[in-house]
Structure 1
Amino acid sequence: MRASIIATITALVLMLGVLAPAVRAQDAAIVSLENEFIRLVVNNSGDETGRFSIRTTGGDPAIPASKDQHLIFGGNAPWTSYTSIRIGNDSYVFGGPTKRRAGLGAKYGKVVAPPELKNGKIYTTCRFGDIEVTQELGFARSTVTRMLDTVGITYRIANTGQENRNVGLRVTLDTMCGTNDGAPIRLGAKEITEAVFASSGEIVDRWFAFDDLAKKTVISMGTLKGGATTPPDRVLFADWGSLADEPWDVVLRDGQGFIRAGELDPDTAAAMFWNPTMIDAGQTKVITTYYGLGYIKDKEGKFTLGIDNPAETTFEHERTQAFTVTAFVKNSGDFDGRNVAITLALPRGLDLLGGNKLSEIYEGMKQGATIQQSWTLKPNGKFNGTGNFKLAVTSANIEGNSLENSLQIHVPTMKLRVQPGAQQVPVKTNRMPTIIPIQLNLSPVENFAGARVVVMFDPAVIRPLNVTRGPGFMEDGRLLAGWDVDDTDIDNGKLVITGLRTNAGHLTQAEINLAVIAFRSVAPGKSPVTLREAVLLDGAGKETPLEVLNGEITVVP
């Protein structure tokens, strides 16, 4: 019996010794991240290192069928989606080489840092001579749902050499909606049914891939503009085979559809291009795009309605970003519609910049047909709060329908802040007291005509050397009257700055510098830089609501 037990244990040990490396090899072949919405997988095998796939886990809670569905083909062995680097006149594929179609025979660099999960993101680094490219993948909040149902795709392109280099980027995504490898692409007011380039002027905020508005299982969404996105110079929607065979430019045939080149199956894909631009020696260019789970608020009826808009927008004067709203209307009735009127009512505080008219009539609409409309809008600063878009459809012979979706419009109050907010400096620089400049910046600027502020600090740690006015108290290079600095109480850590825009127009813009204070270090310690009794005046001489953001300077031995 004992001999039998020993033999059994020995056999188990030998079995585990054989199986354990296989399990480790399987685990080592991918690096992955997942949450309740989506799963990101990065290839860590010897072939196609760094390529990635995305699928849903729980998907869209409002669509049960969206669970466990592909958004990018590849599953646990990603290889069909890939990224190209254009350096001078040469094109390279990011990551490890392949024996399969996507990037076969292309030029490759060297993987210097294989996929690694750090701080919630997966990093991969490749070198192409003096150009070093790091791919950074991680979950990001959707501009539509504000949920972590999107993957942020970032490339940091560093020129480590001594000469300036011309470098571009192409990101190719092999889109897949569940089991449908050929789902139609929708961009603004267009349903794209054949291969096409979209130039920068045709690019809207988001593009979608889904089957049918009334019978959708899962929606994928790419973000092209807005927020931290780097808008591409052009986007190509084409069959995957054409993009797999060419790592940079693809020549399209007239009427070329989405049938995979050289085969018989439909297979849609998207490629975002950032044209080559000069990167100076020692500098880094950062490019970011987003792709993940899409969401379109919809409502069933004889007309099935859908509307896509961002969750929020912010008014920032000249920095204000326009955004896109897209509507989908499907005739789900039993017959063709006549005199179909589509109307979009806007919330307060928005201006229409382009796209469709806010109300349009179609004489006829085939049963089963879908109409897409798109509008470019921009907040004007006249409303702060939550508003609603209302999409309404009526017809001469089909029951109408309507749908609302909310938008949060932010109009920030003015803030006077110390910048940088916190800094640490040595007490001596080149054996002299360290000079520590700070700025008093106002943003956003609305009808600004003057200010008075008391700046408090610890004189045992820092002392002001000089105070200079900022552009807020200049006009066309001319110094405006009304500027005054009271430094009679600096021994008690108090400085009073007053400025007026005398004989000049009031200011309205995103941001302005009011003053620069140059402190010098006195001794090690920590000194707050506190703004007290801050008063802003508008063009009528009235006080304006203001929020202050203080700073802190730490002087170390």
Structure 2
Amino acid sequence: MDHQLSRLGKQGKPNYCLMLASLLCLFSFWADSHRAYAQNGPPKGPTVIGSAWQEPSELSISNEYLRVDVNQRGQFIIRTTGGDPDVADDNDKPLLYSEALPDTGLTSDLWTSFSTFRYCAHISTGCNWSYDTSHEASSAAYQRVRDGRLITMYGVGSYIPCTAIVRRTIEFVENPLTGREDMVEISFRFFDNDYMLPRPVGAPATICTSAEYLAVREDVGVRLMLDTMIGENDDAPFYVPSTGYTSNQHNFANDNIPDYFRVFESESFSSGLQAVGILNIDTSNTARPDRFLIANWENIFAWSDNLDPKDKATYWDITPEVGIPHGDSAVAIYWDRIRLGSTDDTMKFRYGLAPRVDGEKWLDAPVIVDQMNRYDCFFNLVNRSNEPYTDGVAQLNLPAGLAVANVMVNGAGLAPSQTITEAIGDLAVGASMQIHWQIE
């Protein structure tokens, strides 16, 4: 296989530091829970297309920024509708791969982004921690739109007596980088098989209430596969904190998983449509991912040569060769072991529009903050000049009432409203760096 250009599974697709004197970071906040959107106005509610529980069918939700379509199997795409209100050329553009039918605006394929699961319910049989040996794709059992959310129910583990039910929810949420609902949250939660009503035709009425089953609550896993395509670029390059700009395959695990990543339409990272994925969602019941992969789509999909990829997918445990060009780009997010009934048994990932940056220096931070909470502020710098960058300094000016949390400079704590200066040092040509401040 040619790892730089691999399109066996999607035939017919088109091929498509600068010196820093100072950085001013100003934030505003509200004491109460009311949030005013002076520039953007209040977000519009989702447009619901389809309703009520039904046999799997194609469903959609949309708002003024994004649209999500889900097919009968639960596979999905995300596109812009109006996109960024301040950008004129990002309407009706893909953030995940979709191939439009000529002169119709409809999509012919929604199957390249999807979810797979693993589950073991019986203590007597043990768990081999691999997906079902037939490598069958997970199929949606029921789908509906409720309160602007796309809800898909999966039956997992049909080869064992006690089948589990997975509920996947796709909904629009506020994007912390824009203050608009131009971001999609994809969440998962497992339930016992007596949770879902009505049952599929022919499904057994068994309710797993054995003492053995209830005592064990075996571990479960989720893998979310996204076929990243930003605008016209299906080989979309990435920016990953601590790694920098990259068009190569990567395998991040555990503490090395970044909090977020950016994906670009432009190979120069300085123009065109941009997306952001948020991996670390800090809530009380949300589990952090165990692995995050950037790789060629086919390498992550990894079907058997004798199977039709639209009907059969996908090996669970994929380890791509790192450091080689990814070509047709995709990501996979793994939650390997989630204990049923634990306090962090919900899995979440967010993906949406990213504010456009110049590709050289920018700040990633919330545009609306709560005075009572701590939040992250990331300054990113890339030396895209032809000369080494030396003796750089970043400066952060905080307004009254805000302070950097738990930071010491020369043995002294930083006071509110104090100007914070941090040395960048030297940066080689093409190198990148990131400064992370926690503000409270």
Shorter-chain-normalised TM-score: which range?
A: 0.5 to 0.7
Equivalence map 1:518-557=2 (5 Å): none
The whole-number CA distance in structure 2 between the counterparts of 1:152 and 1:223 is: 9
3-state DSSP class of the match of 2:255? helix
SS at match of 2:299: helix
**Residue 135 of structure 1, aligned match among 150, 164, 168:** 168
Q: What residue number does 1:327 align with? A: 380
CA 1:193–1:346 in structure 2 vs 1: closer, same or farther (change >3 Å)?
A: farther
Partner residue in 2 for 1:218: 273
Q: Which of 181, 185, 200 is the equivalent residue of 2:234?
A: 181
1:4-30 alpha-carbon deviations (Å, 9 max, x no partner): xxxxxxxxxxxxxxxxxxxxxxxx962
1:205 maps to 259
1:146 aligns with 2:179: yes
Which residue number corresponds to residue 270 of structure 1? 331
Instruction: Please point out which of 426, 431, 434 is paired with 1:362.
Output: 426
- SS of the residue corresponding to residue 66 of structure 1 reads coil
**Equivalent residue pairs, number:** 315
Q: CA deviation at 1:257?
A: 2.7
SS of equivalent to 2:405? strand
**What does 1:74-153 correspond to in 2, within 5 Å?**
74=98, 76=107, 77-88=109-120, 89=128, 91-92=130-131, 106-108=135-137, 111-113=140-142, 115-128=143-156, 129=158, 130-153=163-186
Aligned amino acid, residue 325 of structure 2 = G
How far the C-alpha of 1:252 sits from its partner, in A, is 2.8
Classify the secondary structure of the residue corresponding to 1:242. helix
Q: Is the 8 A contact 1:337 1:364 kept in 2?
A: yes
Asked which structure has the greater RCO (Cα within 8 Å, sep 6+), the reply is: 2
How far does residue 131 in structure 1 lie from its aligned partner after superposition? 0.6
1:378 matched to 2:438: yes
Aligned runs of 1:433-512 on 2, under 5 Å?
A: none
The equivalent of 2:324 in structure 1 is 256
Match runs of 1:294-305 below 5 Å:
294-298=354-358, 304-305=360-361
Aligned to 2:295: 238
Separation of aligned partners in 1, 2:405 and 2:268: 28
RMSD value, Cα: 3.1
Give the letter for the 2:192 counterpart.
Answer: N
Letter in 2 for 1:194: N
Contact 2:115 2:138 survives alignment (8 Å): no
In the alignment, the residues of structure 1 paired with residue 427 and residue 293 of structure 2 have an alpha-carbon distance, to the nearest angstrom, of 33
Letter in 2 for 1:272: I
Residues 138-147 or 55-64, more deviating: 55-64
- Who is 2:82 aligned against? 58
Q: Show the counterpart of 2:363.
A: 307
Superposed CA offset, 1:300-330 (max 9, x none) = xxx95322112345576xxx65635141445
State the Cα distance separating 1:165 from its structure 2 match.
2.1
Alpha-carbon contact 2:116-2:137 (below 8 Å) kept: no
Alignment of 1:152-163 (within 5 A): 152-160=185-193, 161-162=208-209, 163=213
CA contact (8 A) 1:174 1:240 kept: yes
Q: CA offsets per residue over residues 355-402 of structure 1, 9 Å max, x none?
A: xx932132653xxx4x5332333235xxxxxxxxxxxxxxxxxxxxxx
Match of 2:404 among 338, 346, 350: 350
Relative to 1, partners in 2 of residues 1:336 and 1:314: Cα closer, same or farther, differing over 3 Å? same
Corresponding residue of 1:39: 67
Match of 1:196 in 2: 250
1:226·1:321 contact (CA, 8 Å) conserved in 2?
Answer: no
Deviations 1:118-164 (A, max 9, x none): 21011111112421011111111112112110111011211343312
- 8 Å CA contact 1:226–1:323 kept in 2: the answer is no
Do 2:250 and 2:322's aligned partners in 1 also have CA atoms closer than 8 Å?
no
Q: 2: distance between equivalents of 1:142 and 1:374?
A: 21
Given that residues 306 and 329 in structure 1 are in contact (C-alpha distance below 8 angstroms), is that contact kept between their aligned partners in structure 2?
A: no
Secondary structure (helix, strand or coil) at the match of 1:351 reads: coil
CA distance in 1, matches of 2:251, 2:427: 30
Query: Cα distance 1:349–1:212, how it changes in 2: closer, same or farther (>3 A)?
Result: farther
- 1:358 aligns to what SS in structure 2? strand
The answer to whether the 8 A contact 1:352-1:376 is kept is: no
Structure 1 stretches of 5 or more lacking a match?
1-27, 94-103, 259-265, 381-557
Q: Which has the higher strand share?
A: 1
Counterpart of 2:275, as a letter, is S
Is the contact between residue 152 and residue 289 of structure 1 (CA under 8 Å) also seen in structure 2?
A: yes
Partner of 1:443: none
Task: Report the Cα distance in structure 1 between the residues aligned to 2:397 and 2:346, rounded to whole angstroms.
Answer: 35
Q: Deviations over 1:473-492 (max 9, x none)?
A: xxxxxxxxxxxxxxxxxxxx
Q: 1:247 aligns with which of 315, 322, 332?
A: 315
Q: Secondary structure at the match of 2:89?
A: helix
| Aligned residue identity for 1:43 | N
**Highest CA radius of gyration, 1 or 2?**
1
More helix by share: 1
Q: Distance in 2 between matches of 1:71 and 1:254?
A: 24
Q: Percent identity?
A: 23
Q: Following the alignment from structure 1 to structure 2, what is the Cα–Cα distance between the partners of residues 321 and 57?
A: 32
Q: State how far apart, in whole Å, the 2-side matches of 1:342 and 1:331 are.
A: 17
1:545 aligned partner:
none
TM-score by length of 1: 0.51
Q: Please list the CA deviations of residues 412-440 of structure 1 after superposition, one character each: whole Å capped at 9, or x if unmatched.
A: xxxxxxxxxxxxxxxxxxxxxxxxxxxxx
- What are the Cα deviations for residues 60-93 of structure 1, in whole angstroms up to 9, with x where unaligned? 2333232221100125331011111011336559
Partner of 2:13: none
CA distance in 2 between counterparts of 1:220 and 1:36 reads 16
Cα pair 1:296 1:307 within 8 Å, conserved: no
Check 1:91–1:313 CA distance in 2 against 1; reply closer, same or farther (3 A cut). Answer: farther
Query: SS of the residue aligned with 1:107?
Result: coil
Structure 1 residue 200: Cα displacement: 2.7
